[in-house]
Structure 1
C-alpha cells in the first residue's frame, strides 16, 4: 500500500493530500530510510513521522483499503511519541 494512502486510511493524517505534502517534504522515514508518498508500506514496517512540533514513531500492524474510525487504530501501534520540552 502507498504511504500516503496508509496514513489517510489509518487516520494518522486526516487527508491524503496532506500526507503527500508531509512525505514530499522529507519528514517521513520507513525503517530508517527517507520515504516518498509513493513508497510501499508493509506490515512490520516502522514509520517515523516528524510533524512541526512532535515526532511519532509507529509500527504497521495491518493494512486495509478502507476502515471505520474505530478500526483505524488497529492498523498501527505507537512505539514512541515525542513532543518538545516546555520551559
Structure 2
C-alpha cells in the first residue's frame, strides 16, 4: 500500500493530501530511509514521522484498504514518541 494512503486509513494523518505533503517534505522515514508518498508500506515496516517538534515511531502491524475509526489503531503500534527542542 502507498505510504500516503496508509497514513490516511490508519488515521495517523487525517487527510491523504496532507500525508503526501508531509512525506514529500522529507519528514517521514521507512526503515531508516527517507520516504516519498508513493513508497510502499508493508507489515513489519518501521515508520518515523516528524510532526513539528515531535517525532513518532510506529511499526506497521497490518494493511487494510479501509477501516473503521475504532479499528484504525490496530494497524500500527507506537514504539516511541520524542519531543525535539530547537
TM-score by length of 2: 0.96
Runs of 4+ in 1 over 3 A off after TM superposition: none
Runs of at least 5 residues in structure 2 that lack an aligned partner in the other structure: none
Alignment of 1:11-22 (within 5 A): 11-22=11-22
* 2:83 alignment partner in structure 1: 83
Per-residue CA deviations over 1:20-76 (Å, capped at 9, x if unaligned) read 000000000000000000000000000000111100000000000000000000000
Runs of at least 5 residues in structure 1 that lack an aligned partner in the other structure: none
Q: Distance in 2 between matches of 1:51 and 1:27?
A: 8
* 2:46 alignment partner in structure 1: 46
**CA RMSD for the aligned pairs?**
0.8
Number of aligned residue pairs: give it.
85
